[in-house]
Chain A
């Protein structure tokens, strides 16, 4: 498999990439169209507001309850899975997880891996890791297949290739696969089907993610529309599932509302085409299914988020993508601008725990705090509140204890801190404030012409000749209300 070579050189920071994306009208219209349609579909799928709000409340309850008992649930899950014949592995870092997966593939002399959609495997950059070791790891979800073919990364957690239109996909298939040019979506999908069917037939190992792991029965639940998830988990002789430690729920019944919230929030569908519950490898009297099933449980910063009661809520996430579909910033800059595995609002609140806030210092501020993400989140994660918290963590002074978010304080500036201190003083002491107003109005002509990034796109603010206080005083002096009162 080819190494991932980015086809277009992307700017190295969020702001630079955002500027590039904003200037790309094709990209903007691809996202705008897709997000409008996803928002409409979700709204249609939740036509009864009371029903929706009741279910979101229940979704939040189930996730919060699971997290409040997470270590015990993980142990219960391990016991049940083991009893069912599924082998459980634990990994603290993505390196460990990759080593485990690689070891399992090597043990079977595997050379070809076919993978169903899995965001955790993106966290691991599993494709690259395996490619470096001469193992082909092919994405089988149509969208993932397209982005892999173009050496790109997904731009959306549910719709990985949403940044491309049919013409671009057709050109890609033409260039890489020698297919004739066709913008007919059906035809493009049939090309993907033909190629990937052969891979499902030949693959030595199938890799998948997990939507929910059920402790009570020892079951891995996967939702999907295409059938590639079923193929990847059924056809090859070995199945390796990778997932984050937060994905476990207590009871089978817990997944009823969660699946409904997930598919309706993500795609506006009452249910996906397939809900696949796997509770073991092939039994002696069965004729297909993998002989071995493995589950790799990955931490990768999740225990860090878990340690902070407020940030723990990020682990409620069921990866539906609704927050990004409704985000005015995401819709305009697209997924690649974020430069990380998880884009959009959810990305902003989970990425710091994985890579450190200092690596993504602009993410918490790339939000208008309009609140749409929190309003649509099916498990009621207060995303805007968490963004504000991260903004505070970003400017934490050096030496601040305890360090609750990895890489906090990278935007700390002494100058900014002093400015805010001055602002507080000015606004809490009337004498200073009066003096300031007097100066600002008298010497308004001396106001600076440049005020940081603000003046890049706006004209500089100039104080008025008279302050509002002053004007109000005059007004009250002349007004009838005041006279009556007197």
Chain B
């Protein structure tokens, strides 16, 4: 008999004569303590993210590309991976055409196999959108796709993420029910709550373990 049959048979024998327990999920336990007045959501998210070394800026829909240029210049970054097919990618590209010297824009437009070494060794920063944020835990939610693939927010040492203030939910439970996640999820969904870190040596917190060393979040307050 197969391992599968054996395992399932053993489990079924052990449960003989019993009934599955009813579902008594009390949602107030995961929502009640994690509710915020709308005007406090940004502050809550910001506080938690900053506590784990995230750089957070509150800016506006029309101003963020200039801010991105400044942040990159300050770090002497010479290239940026972005997604031209997204609305924010389009906006960035047109802002880049103002004649001043800017980091070179790079695009993730082919399968990873064709440029893995380049992504790992040459790309210095990336810019992606987010599908929202979570105030309770100070998290960004990312649904990587063809335009902004999974490694885009992981491999470059600096990751800049755009977050619309209106997209911040009180807690994870609210977000997944509002967006009906249980109906089906994409290949990969990520909650990102800071730059990569570790405390594996002596419990001393060190940032930049395997993922981005820096996470910069730009909160767009007017959208």
Which residues of A are interface residues toward B (Cβ below 8 A)?
A: 30, 33-34, 37-38, 48, 51, 54-55, 58, 61-62, 64-65, 68-72, 74-75, 90-92, 96, 140-143, 146, 159-162, 164-166, 169, 185-186, 188-190, 192-193, 196-197, 200-201, 216-217, 219, 225-228, 230-231, 234-235, 237, 245, 250-254, 256-257, 259-260, 267, 270-283, 285-289, 297, 299, 303, 306-307, 312
Q: How far is the CA of A283 from the CA of B201 in the complex (A)?
A: 38
Q: A185-B206, A289-B149, A307-B10 are in contact. Are A278 and B188 (CB under 8 A)?
A: yes
Q: How far is the CA of A292 from the CA of B14 in the complex (A)?
A: 34
Let me know if A185 and B204 touch, CB within 8 A. yes
Stretch from B85-93, B123-131, B169-177 at the A interface:
B169-177
Candidates B151, B177, B204; contact of A288 at CB < 8 Å: B151
* A68 / chain B contacts, CB cutoff of 8 Å: 15, 18-21
Let me know if A65 and B23 touch, CB within 8 A. yes
Which residues of B are interface residues toward A (Cβ below 8 A)?
A: 2-4, 6-8, 10-15, 18-27, 29-30, 33, 48, 52, 108-113, 116-117, 120, 136-139, 145-146, 149-151, 154, 171-173, 176-177, 181-182, 184-204, 206, 208-212
* A276 / chain B contacts, CB cutoff of 8 Å: 188, 190
Question: Distance in Å from the Cβ of B15 to the closest Cβ of chain A?
Answer: 7
* B200 / chain A contacts, CB cutoff of 8 Å: 141-143, 146, 159-162, 226
Residue of A62, A219, A253 with most partner-chain B CB within 10 A = A253
Q: How far is the CA of A159 from the CA of B29 in the complex (A)?
A: 29
* B110 / chain A contacts, CB cutoff of 8 Å: 287
Q: A161-B200, A256-B30 are in contact. Are A227 and B209 (CB under 8 A)?
A: yes
Candidates B8, B138, B190; contact of A74 at CB < 8 Å: B8
Q: A70-B11, A279-B188 are in contact. Are A226 and B210 (CB under 8 A)?
A: yes
* A169 / chain B contacts, CB cutoff of 8 Å: 201
Let me know if B176 and A287 touch, CB within 8 A. no
Question: Distance in Å from the Cβ of B14 to the closest Cβ of chain A?
Answer: 4
Let me know if B150 and A253 touch, CB within 8 A. no
Let me know if B30 and A260 touch, CB within 8 A. yes
Question: Distance in Å from the Cβ of A321 to the closest Cβ of chain B?
Answer: 13
* B21 / chain A contacts, CB cutoff of 8 Å: 61, 64-65, 68-69
* A48 / chain B contacts, CB cutoff of 8 Å: 33
Question: Distance in Å from the Cβ of B213 to the closest Cβ of chain A?
Answer: 9
Q: How far is the CA of A142 from the CA of B204 in the complex (A)?
A: 12
Q: A75-B8, A186-B206, A190-B208 are in contact. Are A272 and B30 (CB under 8 A)?
A: no
Let me know if A201 and B117 touch, CB within 8 A. yes
Let me know if A166 and B29 touch, CB within 8 A. no
Q: How far is the CA of A160 from the CA of B13 in the complex (A)?
A: 37
Let me know if A226 and B211 touch, CB within 8 A. yes
* A306 / chain B contacts, CB cutoff of 8 Å: 10-11, 14
Let me know if B187 and A279 touch, CB within 8 A. yes
15 A-B pairs with CB atoms under 8 Å apart are: A48-B33, A51-B29, A200-B210, A201-B116, A201-B120, A230-B211, A235-B116, A245-B7, A252-B181, A260-B30, A279-B188, A287-B149, A288-B150, A289-B188, A306-B10
